[in-house]
């Protein structure tokens, strides 16, 4: 990826996270990146194409985390580490996850893509397998509930002021509840 293209992506991510996707024009992005608006269209076709690249790049980190989960043998450790996913990812890419989280709730098409993504299906499978190995009566339902918890952790951690404290308290509680 060229330095210019990377700069456009970084500036777009920053502006999308600060102002929202809908409120950010390609003209604003071009000014912030110090390029022509035409260059954005040449590289990304349109604003949606730019967003698609941002999401693709941002999700690679999450996919590598889930891949690491598949290598863990102890099912309790799988569950424990999966609860750390929001903290890990937001610590590495706060702006991306703030944008991603907001888009998930603001854009029905994006929400549909999110629910159907390989990332979510792989994470669901890993967590489901852990509950199966631990012989939970309803492993699929436990996995779905666990994903809701992880989603809630993302919500807490995307808050600027109190998210970290609330998330740390919730993490301790959930780990205690599941004896992790």
pLDDT recorded at residue 163: 62
Residues 87 and 118 in one domain: yes
Q: Is residue 97 part of a domain?
A: yes
Residues 112 and 141 in one domain: yes
Residues 89 and 165 in one domain: yes
Cα torsion 133, 131, 166, 113: sign: positive
Output the domain CATH number for residue 9. Answer: 1.10.10.60
Domain enclosing residue 148, as ranges: 56-177
Other Cβ atoms less than 10 A from the Cβ of 16: the count is 25
Residues 41 and 104 in one domain: no
pTM: 0.80
Q: Is residue 5 part of a domain?
A: yes
Q: Is residue 50 part of a domain?
A: no
Number of independent structural domains in the chain: 2
> How do residues 119-157 score in pLDDT, each as one tens digit?
888 999 999 999 999 999 999 999 999 999 998 888 888
Residues 69 and 115 in one domain: yes
Residues 129 and 166 in one domain: yes
């Amino acid at each position: 990826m060229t330095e210019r293209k990377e700069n456009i992506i970084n500036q777009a991510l920053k502006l999308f996270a600060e102002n929202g996707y809908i409120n950010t024009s390609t003209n604003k992005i071009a000014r912030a990146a110090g390029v022509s608006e035409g260059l954005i269209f040449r590289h990304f076709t349109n604003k949606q194409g730019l967003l698609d690249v941002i999401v693709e790049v941002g999700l690679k980190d999450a996919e590598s985390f889930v891949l690491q989960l598949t290598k863990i043998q102890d099912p309790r450790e799988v569950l424990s580490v999966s609860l750390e996913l929001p903290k890990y990812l937001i610590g590495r890419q706060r702006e991306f996850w703030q944008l991603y989280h907001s888009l998930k709730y603001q854009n029905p098409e994006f929400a549909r893509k999110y629910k159907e993504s390989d990332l979510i299906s792989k994470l669901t499978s890993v967590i489901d397998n852990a509950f199966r190995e631990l012989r939970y009566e309803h492993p699929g339902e436990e996995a779905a509930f666990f994903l809701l918890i992880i989603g809630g952790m993302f919500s807490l951690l995307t808050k600027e002021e109190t998210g970290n404290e609330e998330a740390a308290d919730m993490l301790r509680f959930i780990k205690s509840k599941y004896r992790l």
